[in-house]
Amino acid sequence: MAKRKVANPLAFAVLGSLGERPMHPYEISSLLKGRGKEVSIKLNYGSLYSVVAALEKAGFIEAVETLRDGNRPERTVYAITESGRAEFDDWLTELLGTPAKEFRQLEAGLAYLPAFPPDRVVELLEQRVVALDEEIAQLVGMHEFMQSKKFPRIFWVESEFRVAVLTAERDYAKGLAAEIRVDGLEGSAFWRRTHELVAELGIKPRDVLQDPVKYFGEDLPWLKEVPPEGL
């Protein structure tokens, strides 16, 4: 899969919008907002205009007319080209069919869990669960509204999917918090004790790691095999 000439997801949305009919950039942004697509595709004005310029340069869209209305800024109307339709087609194919490597911020946080004492982590995860519950409830409420209006699901599956992902995140955070709370996570006794030592004796986590036998005895076989991280 060769790299796209214009890789910003917003460019995908621009192609999708111009696939309907020619528009000027601001009109595209209004359309996306009106349809709630900015929830799924990050929209910002700075990017919009540079992305449109890049698409034009790549031959995926072309300016068809320039309107001027009194003293207001010019509006340049763009239309999609044949090559632009092909690009959109290829892009949508890729978006739907091929998973891409993606990074969630919670994943980054979890990668450094041991840096905080267990109780602090539990507290924060529970705070996240509350916030996620709210977000999910809001989306679900919106879905119910749309269902009541008989607006077909096909037009908001992306929001349903968002709920699915948020729910998975929520469930994982909740489960993890519960496990840490009862010390059920293997290794977490060691983790807790290390932070206690740090707090009580004023020593540094790395001191503990440098001579674990002194603080924990011989019953932590993995410490010798793999050096722990993040503490």
Kindly list the residues in this chain that would bind DNA in the complex (CB under 7 A). 3, 5-8, 24-27, 30, 42, 44-51, 54, 69-76
Q: Which is nearer to its own copies, 20 or 66 (CB)?
A: 20
Stretch that binds its own copies, among 47-55, 59-67, 71-79, 91-99 (CB under 8 A): 91-99
Helix/strand/coil (H/E/C) assignment for every residue in 185-226: CCCHHHHHHHHHHHHHHCCCHHHHHHCHHHHHCCCCHHHHHC
Rounded distance, CA 42 to CA 44, Å?
7
Alpha carbon 164 to chain centroid distance?
Answer: 13
Which of helix, strand or coil describes residue 85? helix
Q: Which is nearer to its own copies, 74 or 218 (CB)?
A: 218
- Structure tokens, 84: 């632009």
End-to-end CA distance of the chain: 39
Q: Closest distance between DNA and the C-beta of residue 124, in Å? A: 23
The reply on whether position 142 binds its own copies by CB under 8 A is: no
Of these, 3, 68, 206, 214, which contacts its own copies (CB under 8 A)? 206
Q: Which is nearer to DNA, 24 or 195 (CB)?
A: 24
Angle made by CA atoms 5, 10, 11, in degrees to the nearest 5:
35
- Give, for 79, the enclosing helix (H) or strand (E): strand 75-80
The reply on whether position 149 binds its own copies by CB under 8 A is: yes
Of these, 18, 55, 132, 139, which contacts its own copies (CB under 8 A)? 132
| Contact string (CB under 8 A) for its own copies, positions 103-122, x = contact | xxxxxxxxxxxxxx----x-
Q: Which is nearer to its own copies, 59 or 187 (CB)?
A: 187
Q: Closest distance between its own copies and the C-beta of residue 185, in Å? A: 5
The reply on whether position 153 binds its own copies by CB under 8 A is: yes
Stretch that binds its own copies, among 39-47, 59-67, 70-78, 137-145 (CB under 8 A): 39-47
